[in-house]
Structure 1
Amino acid sequence: MPIRLPLLSPDPQAPFPPAESALREPDGLLAMGGDLSPSRLLNAYRHGIFPWFSEGEPILWWSPDPRMVFRTDAVHLSTRFRRDLRRSDWTVSADRDFAAVIAACATTPRPGQDGTWITPEMSAAYLALHRLGHAHCVEVCDAGGRLVGGIYGVAIGRMFFGESMFSGESGGSKVALAALARVLREAGCPLIDAQVENPHLRRLGGRRMPRDIFLAEAGRLAAAPEPAALWDFATFPASQLAGERLDPPRA
């Protein structure tokens, strides 16, 4: 039986269907159509909705249940990885080259994945959000300044909605996530949306959150004022992350 989905209005200010009305199979599929204008994207994120589609498909909008999230005080780095990180000459920065991070996320091969959902249309949309001050990235570079890892997403208020991360060298994405968590935690931002569960995210400390709880938490945090100069931090050595307690004992 064909799936029937609500078709979004051409008006980018038009409301989305309630996230609770999303399909159970495929999990979280909510609506189709519309565009990727900044106003529509920001409206989507504020309501726990994000776009995810492949080349040649219509724009599809999702709100899965449960949601994968990270608490910014609970990213897990293994003891072995921390030991190696203490000797690392990598550095961490933010918003130095958003275009390079999103391009690397789109083109870095991933096990079990054929192609990318970060289409040219998606890249252009998030670059526009970045220029408007809503999309941000964390870069990880080696001693020669080469990009070896990164993560990008959308910041609204005190909520960060993660979109994608990559590793150009082993561990690059782990460092990017841990650095993002540190920056957000120190600014009073407790939550990172990771959208859809997978084993890699679980190993890094990602947790399932029921959609109703996520929508309430994300809505509350997105409505809060964004911390001043959050993305203006000075470049720092990735080795600093090795000694931080980012993964307290779980209940």
Structure 2
Amino acid sequence: MEVVIAPAEELAVLAADAIEALLRRRSDAVLGLATGSSPLKVYDELARRHAEEGLSFAQARGFMLDEYVGLDAEHPERYRNVIATEIAERVRWPAEQVQGPDGLAADLPAACAAYEEAIEAAGGVDLQILGIGTDGHIAFNEPGSSLASRTRIKTLTRQTRVDNARFFDGDVEKVPTHCLTQGLGTIMDARHLVLLATGRQKAEAVHQLVEGPVSALWPATVMQLHPHATVLVDEAAASRLQLADYYRQTYASKPSWQGL
């Protein structure tokens, strides 16, 4: 696992660099897309590169991490709509090439199975963008999730709903109780994991992710078992890391050609 500590704006550029390098190398690459606040600066940077430098998503595929269950198709906080607004429409990404789990399906288990099959049929995810919750969840894999889990329906914790209430006019009761989410096993199948975290409120989760024991109590710790995982954090989110100086020294000594 590589840990990079830098200002939030620099972290977004690094993540965008990795995505651009992948797309320049393979125009039909498969990207894993996260929602929430963590990837927004990355999406802004990718949109800028599309507009100013011609970065193309025309042949790429995208798969969302998760989706709320039961939100109306036109609801602005439905994740399919959020991804369309924050990245897909801004880079002219064909809508049919960006998929998410169907939170309005009549048969939710069948929808989850179909989503797993779609990811597999696309050849798997090349680079997965991730954020992390204050309780250590990635996607909507709450504490206690199986480290081998696949796409499935999950019940959100009260804390996650409180954290997400800011997107629902501050009203936690408007936040859905259920979601469909890629499982930890599904996420771990991606060839490169890139997690971004900023702010002191993420410091304990980041500490556990990087330096704690692998445990379902902190679901993101499963990333310690991945062969190519990158953790991008600002100084506040890194404030609990015991080996922060070592991570800084390692990154400062990294060859410029290596990238993430």
Shared fold by TM > 0.5? no
TM-score of the pair, normalised by structure 2: 0.25
The answer to which structure has the higher helix fraction is 2
Higher strand proportion: 1
Q: TM-score, normalised by structure 1?
A: 0.25
